[in-house]
Amino acid sequence: MTARIILICHGSTEAVRAAKFPTDEPLDELGLKNIKALANGLPKAGRCWTSPERRTRQTALALGLNAQIEPVLGDCDYGAWAGRTFDEVCAHEPDAASAWLRDPTATPHGGESIAAVIRRVGQWLADEQAWRQRTIVVTHPTIIRAAIVHAIEAAPQSFWRIDIAPLSVTRLSSLGGRWNLSAAGCSATQHS
């Protein structure tokens, strides 16, 4: 049986527009408005999950999904950088920001490393019993990037080379325990 996961990135937030490391912020007006286009074309799924953060729960609700909260889908812990813009971090901690972008194991912010996020998501994807039905997941760009890196067995350094836009759709499929990337970062009109 082929496992299918549809990963949906949450709608836009103030942090997304300002290039900030996120906190538990809500969707902005544009994020809520743009969800309607995506909601009309979603396929039926046997199960729906969302991360615990408000922006993902709001997205799932606006999509009409009865999603269960799955803590493993939570965003990266950005530690002391949460709520700060990337430019601000680069201006005040240039060596730390550079190390973080170069080394997936770095945690200059005191939070979670990108390598740890990739491991967490990889362990979640490894549970083959969970994938017996089509699943829709509403989560964060960080989690979707980690799922792609894991699925295609890419080097963790490739994490930053994957762009995931708000409300984009990424599809993974698996037959026999090996994940394949079916579509990445498609817009609402390209996902079907």
Q: Given pLDDT bands bounded at 50, 70 and 90, which one contains residue 2?
A: confident
| Structural domain of 45 | 3-79+115-186
Mean pLDDT along residues 123-145:
88
In a domain, 163, yes or no: yes
Q: What pLDDT is attached to residue 36? A: 80
What is the count of structural domains for the chain?
1
Q: Given pLDDT bands bounded at 50, 70 and 90, which one contains residue 187?
A: low
What predicted TM-score, i.e. pTM, was given to this entire model?
Answer: 0.93
Q: What pLDDT is attached to residue 32? A: 87
Q: What CATH number is associated with residue 173?
A: 3.40.50.1240
Inform me whether the pLDDT recorded for 35 exceeds 80. Answer: yes
Each residue's pLDDT tens digit, 41-92:
788 888 999 999 999 999 999 999 999 999 999 999 999 999 999 999 999 9
In a domain, 85, yes or no: no
In a domain, 105, yes or no: no
Residue 108 to residue 53: CA distance in whole angstroms: 23
Q: Worst-scoring range by mean pLDDT, 21-25, 34-38, 99-103, 120-124?
A: 34-38
User: In this prediction, what percent of the chain has a pLDDT beyond 70?
Assistant: 95
In a domain, 75, yes or no: yes
In a domain, 106, yes or no: no
Confirm if 169 and 155 have CB atoms less than 8 A apart: no
In a domain, 89, yes or no: no
In a domain, 99, yes or no: no
DSSP string spanning 11-34? PPBHHHHHTBPP-SPPB-HHHHHH
Inform me whether the pLDDT recorded for 189 exceeds 50. Answer: no
Residue 73 to residue 86: CA distance in whole angstroms: 23
Q: What pLDDT is attached to residue 192? A: 43
Each residue's pLDDT tens digit, 158-183:
999 999 999 999 999 988 778 889 88
In a domain, 191, yes or no: no
